[in-house]
Amino acid sequence: MDAAVAKRALLQQVIKESSLVAFGVGVLVPEYNRIREEHPRGKTFMAADAFEYILQELVYRTAKTIVEYALDVKISFISDSSNRSPVYELVYENWKKSNPTTAKSMLSIRHEDDEKNYGLQAADMIASSVNRVYRSHLEDGTVPDDYPLNEVFWRIGRIDEDYLLTMLEHQSQRASEVK
């Protein structure tokens, strides 16, 4: 236990001293699944896998920030290697094709073994921080001023029922929806 705590503290310090910038998105998967199933437009605009949707949100929010701040940067995404990796790769590449202007700032998405890749260990720690912040403030919908690694976060997005319903209502009507 002491070794794990010491390793976590060391990794947090390395992250704080790096030029790493983090974006986070929190979503309650049961709420996401319920809205996808119940809303008439849910299956049209929401991925069956909530993590595909989260990836799209992370890419969108990161790209939006680059545009808002006119940053001259290149970004890359890293994810745990899993049987879903090819799906997430496709989601990422499709997003880039649909958004060619912001795609110029986007490098690749990589899928690595989190036991061997320090960048992914940092990303896992950041995701854990988002999870704790999100879960601890479910009721009031706020993000506190102080939480682990808050120095590296530019944004933490909250994908809740209101957000999902607003997103669904503002999507353009597709040909398949016209009767």
d(CA 168, CA 172): 9
Q: Which residues of the chain have pLDDT under 70?
A: 19-20, 137-139, 141-150, 152-155, 174-179
Average pLDDT taken over every residue of the chain: 81
- Predicted pLDDT of residue 63: 78
The distance of Cα 28 from the centroid of its chain, to the nearest Å, equals 13
Instruction: Look at the alpha carbons of 38, 39, 40, 43 in this order and tell me if their dihedral is positive or negative.
Output: negative
- Predicted pLDDT of residue 50: 92
Encode burial over 36-54: b for 16+ CB neighbours within 10 A, e otherwise.
Answer: beebebbeebbbebbbbbb
- Predicted pLDDT of residue 75: 81
SS3 for 172? coil
This prediction has a pTM of: 0.72
- Predicted pLDDT of residue 37: 96
Give me the residues paired with residue 75 across strands: 106
